[in-house]
């Protein structure tokens, strides 16, 4: 358990979950083998985004949980790590398509605007978790979108799953209204699961249902921040899709 918590503190569980999810989405929408360089670019991008997001949170407000305290205590080391990861990302971009690079540039601009807007977020009624979820999903769909393959159904499912994850743990951090948001998200997610089962396959629906089910279990049976690592690891469920494909 300590190993998984350590992985969670530095956000590597999010990276692994994103890689598994993107691999499944590519297989479903495009098929065939996705290039290793695209996986590397995604992994680096997601890790940089989450590390930077923790740093932004600590600049805006005092750290209120163990993760943010860790990122505040080791902020200088983490900022050096972010710089190193950015260098690796720039180098890795030479191995991916020009279309994907341009899409990544636009997404990076959106992320920059997101970071700037955090300073004024209290003036808007929309929680920042909505846009975090959208940016997360956009990153997962960039490779398939760059080759002309996209599904609004799957995109909506991934956005809502990410928003559900953020809503659950934002509620547990003390923002009570996110409890209502988490509860109400279950119904559109169930509707989307039925549509995915109809249009794609039961295996894909099961992968998404596992993510939702783990979060619902945490909500009802173990509602505390110590289960955040379990919620992040739930996004590794697409591995089941590939295990099934092997046999």
pLDDT tens track for 25-39? 999 999 877 888 888
Q: Which long-range contacts (CB under 8 A, 24 or more apart) does 111-115 make?
A: 111/49, 111/135, 115/52, 115/56
pLDDT tens track for 169-180? 989 888 888 999
Measure CA of the first residue to CA of the last residue in the chain; give whole Å.
Answer: 30
Q: How confident is the model at residue 118 (pLDDT cuts 50, 70, 90)?
A: low
Sign of CA pseudo-dihedral 143, 148, 154, 155: positive
Mean pLDDT, all residues of the chain: 85
Maximum pairwise Cα distance, the chain? 53
Where does the chain have alpha helices with state H?
2-9, 12-29, 36-60, 66-73, 75-92, 98-117, 128-146, 152-172, 177-199, 202-221, 228-233, 239-246
Q: What is the mean pLDDT of residues 141-163?
A: 93
In the chain, where are the structural domains located? 2-242
Q: What is the CA radius of gyration of the chain?
A: 18
Higher pLDDT, 229 or 193: 193
- Tokens encoding 223: 């509602």
pLDDT tens track for 44-81? 988 998 898 888 777 777 777 778 888 888 889 999 99
Percent of the chain whose pLDDT exceeds 90: 36
């Amino acid at each position: 358990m300590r190993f998984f918590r350590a992985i969670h503190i530095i956000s590597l569980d999010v990276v692994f979950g994103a890689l598994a999810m993107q691999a499944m989405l590519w297989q479903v929408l495009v098929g065939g083998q996705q290039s290793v360089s695209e996986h590397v670019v995604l992994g680096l991008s997601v890790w940089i985004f989450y590390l930077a997001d923790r740093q932004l949170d600590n600049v805006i407000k005092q750290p209120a949980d163990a993760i943010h305290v860790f990122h505040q205590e080791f902020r200088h080391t983490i900022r050096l790590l972010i710089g190193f990861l950015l260098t690796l990302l720039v180098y890795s971009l030479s191995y991916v398509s020009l279309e994907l690079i341009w899409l990544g540039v636009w997404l990076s601009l959106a992320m920059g605007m997101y970071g700037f807007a955090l300073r004024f977020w209290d003036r808007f009624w929309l929680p920042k978790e909505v846009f975090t979820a959208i940016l997360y999903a956009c990153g997962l769909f960039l490779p398939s979108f760059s080759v002309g393959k996209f599904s609004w159904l799957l995109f909506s499912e991934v956005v809502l799953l990410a928003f559900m994850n953020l809503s659950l743990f934002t509620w547990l951090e003390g923002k009570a209204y996110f409890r209502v948001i988490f509860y109400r998200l279950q119904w559109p997610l169930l509707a989307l699961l039925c549509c995915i089962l109809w249009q794609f396959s039961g295996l894909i629906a099961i992968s998404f249902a596992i993510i939702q089910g783990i979060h619902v279990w945490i909500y009802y049976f173990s509602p505390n921040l110590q289960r955040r690592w379990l919620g992040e690891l739930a996004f590794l469920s697409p591995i089941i899709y590939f295990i099934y494909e092997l046999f």
